[in-house]
Amino acid sequence: MGGASEAGGSRGDSRGLLLLAAPRFFPRPATMSATTSDSRLAPRVETIFVALAFAGMLTGVVAEWRGAPETLVWIGYGVAYGFGGWFGLRAGLDAIRHLRVDIDLLMILAALGALAVGAPFEGAMLLFLFSLSNVLQHYAIGRSRSAIEALMELRPETALVRRGDDLVETPLADVEVDDVFVVKPGDRLPLDGTVVVGESEVDQASLTGESVPVTKRLGDDVFGGTINGGGSLEVCVTKAAGETALAQMIRLVEEAHGEKAETQRLIDRLEQPYALGVIGLTIAALAVGLALGGAFDPSFYRAMTLMVAASPCAIIISTPAAVLSAIANGARRGVLFKGGVYVEEVATVEAIAFDKTGTLTEGKTRLTDVGLLEGIAEDELLALAAGVQARSEHHLARATVEAAVTRGLVLPDAKGFKATAGKGVEASVNGGAVRIGNPQFFGGENGLAPALDAVGAMQERGRTAILVTRDGVALGVLGFADTLRPGAADVVRDLRHRGVEHIVMLTGDNRHVAERIAREAGVDRVYADLLPEQKVEIVREIRETVGPVAMVGDGVNDAPALAAATVGVAMGAAGTDVALETADLVLMADDLDGLSYAIALSRAARRTLVANLGFALAMIVVMLGFILTVGLPLPLAVVGHEGSTVLVSLNGLRLLGFRR
């Protein structure tokens, strides 16, 4: 095995020939660039190059041990240097062209330095291990990126579309909104839509992470990429191929891979000055050695050892390996982090604010009470209210319309519809001004005190109540009820177990209803009768007094509060476009358990980050300490440096298999 003392004339000539010949043996491929690791071909090429580098290194060292001809020794090491350093050399030269110094350049310089002092084996081993660690890094990133490819494979290429009496196999790009397609038992649904014929159980695990199939009936939403069970369905398309929940999910995962974590951004900012510092340290070590009377070869050998030991490869890979693996793990379970920064931020959450309706509760609000106040029949009141509210997306409006449709009522036409967020709606019906809303909507209006008392009485019975007026005359009160989401109390307990001590509920509903739900869920505090802007103020207050806060809502009415929180969380977002765009963390399933999983996963990722960074820094400190005190052979520095890089990569990959 070569060492610092073995530099000789014949080897010097061989080294010169080797360096001159390298460009001839390894021409620059026209189809590859310094960043080809992102393509399909480059990782395979790199893997082959690593294998050839190992074979060359092994050939060289065995030939040297067995006293084989010098030519065979240098052919072996030449292969190791050429294939092991090819990608690093190209990346290093590219960095120089941009007036930068990076890790690839440091490794190439260290390997050439080892070659210059007659330690070709050490240089070959450095390049082999360096290229091996790069392949493992690309594997780690590739495994996480494979989540995107796996999602893409969920989508069929065609749909069986009904054209009159015929069924036509149609490419998805040619299927339009309002077309009706047929799904046979066991088939994968091609697009998002609403069931118009049939009933079946649908496996949504690929999209939402739900382990139990969901029964779909007339009027239920279904999503492309999910698997139909034993029944046959006919589905009316609601979204084009590029706008489905699956398509948006794929786009979000792709964008998340490009959104770096804060730790990674910090490391990226420090890489350039750190690399320059390593070069400075290497030059200083050589200068000090020579100034103290040391020979050039031993001093240079020691300086190269310092360069290898101090290089921050393990530090640089410690973050992306862990964060990208966490993003991929979450995506497979319907938990979408919108970037590495949110993986870190979710881990810091100390408080959680829940919206009530559709989040802590099932969101399946039902009309339960109709109170008459002024000479009007119940069906007439309900039809009038439904006619106005048919234009609203609010959950109370949907419940009103559903009740009217169930009774077979004819809804009157409403004109001049206007909604006031958090309060109510109004419109003109047959020339009369109809207003529907909560007590705040009617504040200050004369003659409504008795009617508002009736609203209050209904609220005290645990109902969400709204008043209906026409031309300033109170006609009646509508009461609604919602129920706590199954498992919500268990999730709240689990969140406390994970150290989230401050859990509150924010709602625009009245206090009586809110406190009933809060008691059942087990939250700490209730904020009721809130307007959207008041939710924002409370979220900011919690953030300032308690610490990082997550706001959990539907991503539509709660968009301002989601934006004000440290982390905005939209749940049940498989069918909600706005939720996908608004939140930082998206729970595709209509299930709060995904929030608990996201927190557990992000905290596991943070522990992995801390462990990786701590281990990488400790290895550098320990190796530098040995080099500066008792001395450390270059092979051990190479093994320590590249071994730590490989270990942190593999440790980050463990998050791909994370289970709560």
For residues 70 and 60, what is the distance between their CA atoms, to the nearest angstrom?
9
3-state secondary structure (DSSP) of residue 549: strand
CA 139 to chain centre: 19
In one-letter notation, the amino acid at residue 347 is: A
Q: Pick from 500, 566, 560: which is nearest to 535 by CA? A: 560
In 283-412, where do the E strands start and end? 335-337, 351-355, 366-372
Q: Which residue has 């060359």 as its token pair?
A: 56
For residues 55 and 29, what is the distance between their CA atoms, to the nearest angstrom?
22
Say how many residues make up the chain.
Answer: 660
Q: What is the 3-state secondary structure (H, E, C) of 471-510?
A: CCEEEEEEEEECCECCCHHHHHHHHHHCCCCEEEEECCCC
For residues 429 and 432, what is the distance between their CA atoms, to the nearest angstrom?
5
For residues 133 and 650, what is the distance between their CA atoms, to the nearest angstrom?
10
DSSP code for 441: G
For residues 145 and 343, what is the distance between their CA atoms, to the nearest angstrom?
16
Query: Are 334 and 580 spatial neighbours (Cβ–Cβ below 8 Å)?
Result: no
Query: Are 559 and 355 spatial neighbours (Cβ–Cβ below 8 Å)?
Result: no
> Which of these is catalytic: 102, 179, 355, 554?
355
Q: In the annotation, is 268 catalytic?
A: no
Q: What is the 3-state secondary structure (H, E, C) of 384-431?
A: HHHHHHCCCCCHHHHHHHHHHHHCCCCCCCCEEEEEECCCEEEEEECC
Query: Are 148 and 253 spatial neighbours (Cβ–Cβ below 8 Å)?
Result: yes
Query: Are 195 and 219 spatial neighbours (Cβ–Cβ below 8 Å)?
Result: yes
What are the tokens at 148?
């995107």
For residues 236 and 56, what is the distance between their CA atoms, to the nearest angstrom?
62
In one-letter notation, the amino acid at residue 189 is: L
3-state secondary structure (DSSP) of residue 91: helix
CA 91 to chain centre: 29
Query: Are 392 and 402 spatial neighbours (Cβ–Cβ below 8 Å)?
Result: no
3-state secondary structure (DSSP) of residue 658: coil
Dihedral angle sign, alpha carbons of residues 419, 423, 429, 431 = negative
Query: Are 189 and 183 spatial neighbours (Cβ–Cβ below 8 Å)?
Result: yes
The H or E element that residue 90 is part of is: helix 70-97
Instruction: Please identify every residue annotated as catalytic.
Output: 355
